[in-house]
Structure 1
Amino acid sequence: MNLENKELKELFELANKIGNQRYHKLTHQDFENYRKFDYWRYINGDYECGTTQESKDWVRDNSDWYCPICEHHYSEKGGKTIDHKLPRSQYPWLSMEFKNLWVICKVCNQDKGEMHWYEYEHYIFVHYPDLYLAVKAARPSQLLQSLND
């Protein structure tokens, strides 16, 4: 299925349909992966970019000085955070899929919250149209396609 030619509303409906079907079939391993993310990110403490050396290294290797959404220096926007492009509350089986993670500033992460990716794209398009191309460029196309497989 070609996802590139669909409107945001269609993509959001499709993702919800597929996500809901998969969510009802969660396995024990899915929940283990969900918990593994918490351990990977927070051994001791509650720091947004993780407290394990592995998570800190991942953040260092997968970010630079600027948020890929708003393009502000992280220090100007509350620091760096690890975010799931597809929220783990809706897609717990993708919680340790590193293609689903990105480093964004705290303010952008709070704006995104638990929105599904296409819902977030629509939100950005309506409220911050000048940021839309950056968000669209970060679209997790392979992950979204995998939902359909």
Structure 2
Amino acid sequence: MSLKDKELKELFELADNIGNKRYHRLTHQDFETYRKFDYWRYINGDYECGTTQDSKDWVRENSNWYCPICGYHYSDKGGKTIDHKLPRSQYPWLSMEFNNLWVICQVCNKEKGEMHWYKYEHYIFVHYPDLYLAVKMARPSQLLQSLKDSTK
């Protein structure tokens, strides 16, 4: 059965099962990957120092002027942020997986917080049904496929 034939909840149950197995077997490299994000995103890994040129360039190349969730101009919503679709607190080895990153406004990022994507998509569907299609289109399908493939 392909991923396209599965319901959303089943996909994320699969991702959680894989994530839980992997999370309990984190390697030294997984922690380095997790830390690498901080060094890629923040000068000297320090939030106070500002973002690196490399991460600024990535944001410029992977976003436009508007948040893909709410549709507002970033400057109207406190600026833009790099967010992990699958939270790095649950999937630290995906910290530098660029398919797991997207640029959203600060307000939407705070609202999403550390929610797992499935819970976030459900939350949007219930609370902001007019925004659901935008969130659904951003679903980390390739990431789910790669998690599924890693079990073979």
Measured against the shorter chain, the TM-score band is over 0.9
Letter of the aligned partner of 1:97 in structure 2? E
* Cα contact 2:11–2:144 (8 A) shared by 1: no
Matches within 5 A, 1:36-51: 36-43=36-43, 46=47, 51=51
* Cα contact 1:12–1:119 (8 A) shared by 2: no
The offset of 1:24, in angstroms, is 1.1
Letter of the aligned partner of 2:99 in structure 1? K
Render the CA deviation track for 1:57-87: whole Å, top value 9, x for unaligned.
Answer: 1111111100001000001111000000111
TM-score by length of 1: 0.92
TM-score by length of 2: 0.90
Figure out how many residues of one structure are paired with residues of the other and give that number: 147
**2:82 corresponding residue in structure 1:** 82
Question: Aligned partners of 2:110, 2:53: CA distance in 1, in Å?
Answer: 24
The offset of 1:51, in angstroms, is 1.3
* Aligned partner of residue 83 in structure 1, secondary structure: strand
Question: Aligned partners of 1:107, 1:3: CA distance in 2, in Å?
Answer: 31
**1:100 corresponding residue in structure 2:** 100
Question: Which runs of 5 or more residues in structure 2 are unaligned?
Answer: none
CA RMSD of aligned residues (A): 1.4
Question: Aligned partners of 2:117, 2:79: CA distance in 1, in Å?
Answer: 22
**1:23 corresponding residue in structure 2:** 23
Render the CA deviation track for 1:90-123: whole Å, top value 9, x for unaligned.
Answer: 1011100111110000011011111111111111
Report percent identity of matched pairs: 84
* Cα contact 1:78–1:106 (8 A) shared by 2: yes
* Cα contact 1:65–1:74 (8 A) shared by 2: yes
* Aligned partner of residue 4 in structure 1, secondary structure: helix
* Cα contact 1:87–1:114 (8 A) shared by 2: yes
Matches within 5 A, 1:52-131: 52-131=52-131
Question: Aligned partners of 1:41, 1:13: CA distance in 2, in Å?
Answer: 30
More helix by share: 2
The offset of 1:22, in angstroms, is 1.0
- Alignment of 1:139 with 2:142, yes or no, is no
